Amino acid sequence: MSASQLETRLSHHLDLTFAERDALRWLERRERSYPAGTLIFHEGEAIENLYIVGSGWLHSSVTLRDGDRQILRFYFIGDITTTLSVAWQHSAATLQAVSDTTLFEIPKAHFGDLFRKHPRLGALLFAISASEQVSIGDRLTSISKTDGFTRIATLLLDIRSRLRVVDNLEGSAFELPLTQKDIGDAVGLTKTHVNRSLKALEATGLVERDGRVVRITDVDRLATLVDFRDRHAVIATDWLPAVGAAVSPVLEKVT
């Protein structure tokens, strides 16, 4: 059986056992495809499933009081969507396909079983989720405290960092299927300001564009220039429970 997308992503951080790999592959049984632009579900809509991204890009967003949109995050291959909504029975955000997309549908109960039967996987997923929340916090800080040049550079560096983990991206070039409005809605800029900031980035020679392909010519230099911190490349795993771990001795004594 071929590797699952989630398996590939988690394997970046941890050597998985055969049982763990089988458990992840079992999750990817209910496949659904959506063309670019499809609204998978709306903010506030009742949901009972999580979704693993098998292919394509998506974003989640909320609608503001004035009818405008704020993009919260992007999803790529191997990501689990709707984790922002796992605490409720409804979606906290609207999920939309940016490009043609394949999703694997996972009932919440099956996801819960993964945590119960494979606590090491559950702990790793928790750690990855924590790193993503910190990354979102970095973007929020960038939006509130920096100019358009820095906001967009930070977004591009963050996308590149995540693609290196989930899509085995080599080098510093990647396809960016986002419109200028998408970028603006993610970093709090108008399309005009996005266009101006992209041109300013290109003028430095640190970013090149050829249609939808973006190339960062010197990742380290650009990261230093905008004080970017890579939150995705390395996740600490030394604290994870051992393989086959169940209830801790401390909890057993309590019970």
How much of the chain exceeds pLDDT 90, in percent? 73
Provide the CB-side half-sphere exposure for 22 (13 A, CA): 4
Residue where the block lists tokens 């911190």:
229
Count of C-beta atoms within a 10 Å radius of residue 249: 7
Is residue 245, in this structure, part of any structural domain at all?
A: no
Count of C-beta atoms within a 10 Å radius of residue 199: 12
pLDDT of 247 over the 70 cut: no
pLDDT band at 172 (very low <50, low <70, confident <90, very high): confident
Is residue 247, in this structure, part of any structural domain at all?
A: no
Write the pLDDT tens digit of every residue in 207-239: 999 999 999 999 999 999 999 999 998 999 999
Is residue 253, in this structure, part of any structural domain at all?
A: no
Average pLDDT over residues 150-174: 86
pLDDT band at 166 (very low <50, low <70, confident <90, very high): confident
- Burial degree of 99 (CB within 10 A; 0-12, 13-18, 19+): middle
pTM: 0.89
Is residue 70, in this structure, part of any structural domain at all?
A: yes
Q: What is the CATH number of the domain that holds 137?
A: 2.60.120.10
H helices within 76-226, ranges in order?
Answer: 108-117, 119-145, 148-166, 180-187, 191-203, 219-226
pLDDT of residue 230: 93
Write the pLDDT tens digit of every residue in 7-36: 989 999 999 999 999 999 999 989 999 999
pLDDT of residue 255: 45
Structural domain that includes position 180: 5-226
CA-based nearest residue to 79, from 50, 108, 117, 120? 50
Q: Is residue 77 within 8 Å of residue 165, measured between CB atoms?
A: no
Is residue 241, in this structure, part of any structural domain at all?
A: no
Is residue 56, in this structure, part of any structural domain at all?
A: yes
Write the pLDDT tens digit of every residue in 34-82: 999 999 999 999 988 899 999 999 999 999 999 899 999 999 999 998 7
Count of C-beta atoms within a 10 Å radius of residue 62: 15
Domains identified in the chain, total number: 1
Is residue 234, in this structure, part of any structural domain at all?
A: no
Tokens (6 digits) for 124: 């790793």
For residues 114, 127, 151 and 61, what is the CA-based torsion angle, rounded to 10 degrees? Answer: 30
Is residue 84, in this structure, part of any structural domain at all?
A: yes
Count of C-beta atoms within a 10 Å radius of residue 89: 9
Q: Name the phi and psi angles at 45, rounded to 5.
A: -75, 140
